[in-house]
A and B are shown apart, each in its own frame.
Chain A
Amino acid sequence: MTYKQSRRIFLQKTALITGGLFLGSHLPDLRTLAADQGETTEEVKLGLIGSGSRGQYLMDHLNLIPGIEVVAVCDNYQPNLTMGVQKTGGKAEAFTDYRKLLERRDIDGVIIATPLHLHSLMSVDALQAGLHVFCEKAMAKTPRECLDMYKTQLQTGKILLIGHQRMFNPRYLKAFEMINSGQLGDITQIRAYWHRNNDWRRAVPEPGLERKINWRLYWEYSEGLMTELGSHQIQVANFIKKDFPRRVAGTGSINYWHDGREVFDNVNLVYEYPDGSTLIYDSMISNAHYGLEEQVMGPKGTMELETGKMYSENPPPAPGILQLLNNIEHKIFDPLPLGGKSWVPETAREAKGEYIYEVDLEDDGTALEMEGFAQMIRENRHSDILLREAYYGAIAALLGNEAIKKGEMITFPEEYIL
């Protein structure tokens, strides 16, 4: 499916959602995108700070969208800088110091795709330079930095959007709508996990570049699995719960990749929301069998957001004739029990579930998110809902790491409640 097709479906779905009550209550402010833009796409000029793998991935999506031009690229690692400029067809101006890039007066906004420890510094500088900012997730490396970014946005009035692309993914939006309409009942538990089976390393051309290239593996630059993967899923859980967790406890360690890394290669946490419901989260990089998923559970059903499937707790009964034939078949072919059943193992149900979103989209929401950012710039309209989602998602992820490191239950600090 092309980006255009994906976008058209997104707009249809968003129009459907915005027609209901959901938007008014809690859906991200997507009216910007849902508006009929026709062919009027005023050119938005952007600068890209950080043209490593993620930055290049974003560039690939930006290149799909009409009305966006990346006119400047910044990276302090020459191979990445060269690749970034190449992806603009060689048109973009190259910088090795982001502050020089921020001085360009013809830029509307910047995209920040640098290592986590630089998010806050660069975002705050860009906002104060009068630029709109799209910053990759997680929002920042510490709760204090997250708060600084939030406050700076309030002071400057510029757009600050954090890269949680699931909030622009039509499948997720459909799921949010269904959950919000009560199809699962009150959400009592969310289980989310992200499992991979790789060392999470990138090839290093010379040993001196180890920490620069594999920054994800060191506490100085990264908060590991919780910010790189967990923040996405915690944000989704928060959005579903329309709240943020007040307590978290858990454990984590390096139990497989003993290769000099500092961050955990597995994390296992329980987050508690004010209504007593929980988010059970784990991530590991030594087994990929279960992949990633967010399982949302309520008394009426279960929803799996990544696969986009719904499982009812009380599915409609099979037609009478099938039940009758099934009973006859069981009576004939089932073995005769010697004694009454005292216990039946309550193993998982084998229901196949129903797809909640019939269209298989290639875009995971990233291109739509990029377009959303450009359109927000055109209309000079910031989304406080999306920023708060990112803020609470990031802080919850960071508190998860703190709980693991301290080995105790951590309560969400009052000073960080907006």
Chain B
Amino acid sequence: MKDLVIKGSWIRRELIILAIIFLFAVVVNVIGIIKHDTGWIELLSQLHVVFILMFILYALLWLLRLIIYLVTFPFRNKKNSKT
């Protein structure tokens, strides 16, 4: 059985992606507040929604990356076999 090795660079990359998505969710919250003229207190009070949105987007991104990986998988094998 092959060991699964999680590298520090992988963790760092995922954390950076998560942080970018979090910032994106915060921006969505800000746009929502401005567009619907609600209170700035929602930057804090709706933090739970921001986190939920962040995890949903992160999961969707994972799904997207998985699809890309699966689609490109045969080509990668050919490429690897040639080298």
Contacts and interface: CB of A to CB of B under 8 A. Distances in A.
B28 interface: yes
Interface in A289-332: 317, 319-325
20 contacts: A317-B38, A319-B32, A319-B38, A319-B45, A319-B46, A319-B49, A320-B29, A320-B32, A320-B33, A320-B35, A320-B36, A320-B42, A320-B46, A321-B32, A322-B32, A323-B35, A324-B28, A325-B28, A325-B32, A325-B53
Contacts of B42: 319-321
Among A317, A321, A323, A325, find the residue whose CB has the most chain B CB atoms closer than 10 A.
Answer: A321
B40 to A, nearest CB: 10
Given A324-B28, A324-B31, A317 B53 contact: no
A96 B27 CA distance: 81
B28 to A, nearest CB: 6
A317 B32 CA distance: 12
Contacts of A323: 32, 35-36, 38
Interface residues on B, range: 10 to 19
B50 interface: yes
A35 to B, nearest CB: 43
Interface string B49-78: 110010000000000000000000000000
Given A319-B45, A319-B46, A319-B49, A324 B32 contact: yes
A319, A322, A325 pick with most chain B CB within 10 angstroms? A319
A322 B38 CA distance: 11
Given A321-B42, A325-B53, 7 more contacts: A319-B42, A320-B35, A321-B33, A321-B49, A322-B46, A324-B32, A324-B35
A74 B36 CA distance: 69
A319 B41 CA distance: 10
